[in-house]
Structure formats: C-alpha cells, structure tokens
Chain A
Amino acid sequence: MIDFPGLLRALSDAGIRFIIVGGAAATAHGSTRLTQDLDVVYARDRDNLERLVRALTPHEPYLRGAPPDLPFRFDAETLERGLNFTLTSKLGDIDLLGEIIGGGGYDDLATHTIEIELFGVRCRCLGLRKLIEVKRAAGRPKDLEVLAELEAILEREES
C-alpha cells in the first residue's frame, strides 16, 4: 500500500519540483481504477536531484524487483546518470520519471498541470487532457480501460 500523505509530505517539505502523473493523476481526476504506485515526473536540475535524495533516503528507496544485494546507491549522481527509476520504499512504491512518452520532462509538462491540495500539501498534477494524451502516446494495453474512463470524464467536463 502507498502512504500517499507520507510520500507527498516528504516531497513537498523538501521543496521538490514534481508533477503527479499516471494512475494517481487519474485518481485525482476521478478515475475509479486501482493504482499501486505513485508516479511523479521530477525536474532534473542538480538542486532538485539533491533534494529528492535528502527527502527519500530516510524511507530506504530501492530498485523495485531487483535482488536485495544489488550495489544500488540512491544519490544525486545515480539520478543524474539515469532517467526513470521504479522504486520501492518504506512509504510504498514510487516511480521517479525524468521523462514520459508523449509528454517530455518536467518543464515540458509544467504548463499542462493543475494545482491540487492533498493531505495538506499543494502539489502539481498533470491536467486531464494531457494525461489522456500521454497515456495514448504510451500505447500500453493496460491503459486502454483507464483511457476510456478518462475520456468519459473529459466528455462530462466539457458537456
């Protein structure tokens, strides 16, 4: 289970620039689907990477599904060398995404977000129209059902 309040507070308290995307963004927009992780697109500047490391290290982030003895170091250098990280942590599974298909990185997406308040935290969440666009661009069969639902929600909003 994901501790959404804990994760969002950890990210927000550290002043991290991030955008909620994926299934959690779908939930924010009214989707009824179950999601098992928190996907965020994070800004790739060095300051933000260091903030991410400081915020998440106490929660023991580790590569999801990797053998326990893998020499993984969660530090700014690792984040700088990589891009997208699927992690497990004491607060639940979190995907740190430097870029997403059809959407790009933080700066590309920032203008397509809405601000939401969640558990006392003000955070940015990908807007419904853009969320549909990136899910369509990803072309994953598992997204088809949620896409039908999100498009029904958009249709309702626009009617």
Chain B
Amino acid sequence: MNRSNRSKDPPDPVDAYREGVDRSLIEKNLELSVEERFLQLMELQRFAAELRRAGERARGT
C-alpha cells in the first residue's frame, strides 16, 4: 500500500484512547501473578457491588 492509499484509511478509533492508557498502572499489574490479577479483579467487583448498593440505598430504591 502506498502513502496516498494509507492517507485514505479511516482513522483508527483506538487512537483516541491511547493517551488515556495509564502505563504505570499496567506496569504495576504486570508485576502481579495472573492469579493475583484475578484476586484484585474480584476485590474490585466486590467494591463496585458495594458502591451500587450504597447508591441504591441513597436513592431509596
């Protein structure tokens, strides 16, 4: 593919998100074992569920 064809390619929608990637967070995550990453994910899920419940209580739902 020559340069003029490349310039006609649609923009990659992922590009808009590259700057927002927190590389330090990734580095920290990669220091963990795979199992530790899942334990962290489960902890995050527990926290998210608790936040949802707190929101529901606050709204009286």
Interface residues of chain A, those whose CB is within 8 Å of chain B, are 1-2, 4, 24, 27-28, 30-32, 34-36, 116-119, 136, 141, 144-145, 147-149, 151-153, 156
Number of interface residues of B (CB under 8 A): 24
Q: Which residues of B contact A136 (CB under 8 A)?
A: 14
Residue B1 interfacial (CB < 8 Å)? no
B44 with A148: CB separation less than 8 A: no
B26 with A153: CB separation less than 8 A: yes
Interface of A (DSSP majority class) = helix
Docked pose: A153 CA to B34 CA in angstroms: 14
B48 with A34: CB separation less than 8 A: yes
- Residue ID in chain B nearest A121 by CB atoms: B35
Docked pose: A44 CA to B13 CA in angstroms: 34
Q: Which residues of B contact A149 (CB under 8 A)?
A: 21, 26
